[in-house]
Amino acid sequence: MITVTSVGQLKEYRDSLEGSVGFVPTMGALHEGHLSLIRRSIAENDHTVVSIFVNPTQFGPNEDLETYPRTIEDDAAQLKRLGVECLFAPKSSGEIYPLGLQRGPFVDVDLGWATKGLEARTRPGFFKGVATVVAKLLLLVRPGTAYFGQKDWQQLTVVKALCEGLFLNVKIESVETARDPNGLALSSRNSYLEPSARLAASDIYKGLLKAAASARLGMAKSSLFEPIEQLWHQHVLDGRFKIDYLELCTRNLEPIEAVCNSCVVLCAVYVHGVRLIDNILITV
């Protein structure tokens, strides 16, 4: 595996490739969720590029940019064992933002409520940062296919719209959310959780499963959420959970008040102060 740290090196490497190229963008602190995307890319492409870049423009002023897990040596070792051909790990944010973090071109995807609700409501500017860095990376790597996890369903929706709207000619493949044996969606931020908090956090997905099991066509949102809220009730009372949002949407992220044939329940929950997101697809 080669590791390139500058845009110039990446361009030179990319120009040397023949055949299909798969790409997995990450912020590092790799876990099985990332690895499942990478394995998929390796299986489906002649070459696989993985990026590790903690993107500063998608963090708000009171978020965890400085403390976000950074484990580049361990990450590189995992990628080498998997057979990844190239790791792009920019040596500084200036490689990606040569005009600085406040100046230069930025990409702002407007999908109505789909980019104003959910994560965007709590994290203003988040998707502008995501869309900008993803556009830059896709233009640099020029993959035929890029791989994203379904845990970040709203991000996945934004990235698909970004590629379609800017004619980037990249196929976006979504990969099912990887989970702990107890159901907790894998996330780099899970490392912030103590064992007892991690156990409590497993009830996030258990609640979503209960809702999916009870869902029937035309069921009101309030009724669909009853089993979730019942399971989470004691956690909320004890202060272990603070619910940021719990929403029912179409898969294109239009908010709805009753279950339709193909929809998604999305949530963000603070567990002992750590913000975790999850979702479940519902087909009736």
31 counts as catalytic? no
Burial tier of 254 (Cβ tally within 10 Å: 0-12, 13-18, 19+): middle
One-letter amino acid for residue 85 of the chain? E
Q: How far apart are CA 148 and CA 25, in angstroms?
A: 8
One-letter amino acid for residue 160 of the chain? K
Q: How far apart are CA 192 and CA 273, in angstroms?
A: 9
- Written as one string, the DSSP assignment of 120-181 is HHHSTTHHHHHHHHHHHHHHHH--SEEEEETTSHHHHHHHHHHHHHTT---EEEEEPPPB-T
The one catalytic residue among 34, 47, 233, 272:
34
Among residues 122, 283, 148, the alpha carbon closest in space to that of 216 is found at 283
Q: How far apart are CA 144 and CA 86, in angstroms?
A: 16
Catalytic residue set: 34
